[in-house]
Amino acid sequence: VWVLISIVPIEYDGAPSMLTTVVDITERKTMEDALRKAATTDVLTGIANRRHFMDRAEAELARARRSERPLALALVDIDYFKQYNDFYGHVRGDQCLTDVAQTLSLALDGPRDLVARFGGEEFVVLLPDTDATVAHNVAERCQRLIQKQAIAHAHSPFDQRLTVSIGVGTTIPCDGMEPFAFIDAVDRQLYVAKDKGRNRIETVQVE
């Protein structure tokens, strides 16, 4: 139960006193929490949305800059997702996105780690206080967990199972580094992974 307590000094019978009012604001707080969750959560998959990720990325980049600690980022793209949608239909496609989102969440173990839907069939994993070795291990864990799901994909060359390509980047940010620059560097690694045949991980150290 949430309450709003207001205490106002008054004079009663010529003596100083206090007037206290208590108002139940539980319903208002519940609505505020629902609106806050809606603003930061991807409606389809239930994980964080791009807006929430960008806010967190900016905050974590600033934290890493102050502490001179590493920050890692992984961009995850479902391989041949257009073909999946065309063959199985959009309802199955939406379920596939949700399954992948929830599976990626299982790969995280840091207290401030975050997985978000970046757009379409692309996801982003934010890994504060994480060096290049650990970040690559997390990316491998993401791939293993998705492979373990064994989601059928008739048009995939990889045993007709759903796979993902991942770009990974790590940085100890310098003054002036912006989130978009870091994300762009990692995104280029994702496209390298796709250009090299998909179902692989490519990494970069971002200066």
For residues 48 and 113, the answer to whether their CB atoms sit within 8 Å is no
d(CA 63, CA 61): 5
Q: Say which residues have a Cβ less than 8 Å from residue 193's Cβ, sequence separation at least 6.
A: 165, 166, 167, 200, 201, 202
- Active-site residue (options: 60, 121, 122, 202): 121
Which residue, 74, 194, 176, 190, is CA-closest to 132? 74
Dihedral sign for Cα 134, 140, 146, 148, please. Answer: negative
- Verify whether residue 58 is a known catalytic residue: no
Cα distances from 31 to residues 1, 36, 44, 113, in angstroms, run 13, 9, 20, 27
For residues 48 and 116, the answer to whether their CB atoms sit within 8 Å is yes
- Backbone φ and ψ for 80, nearest 5 degrees, come out as 55, 40
Catalytic residue set: 121
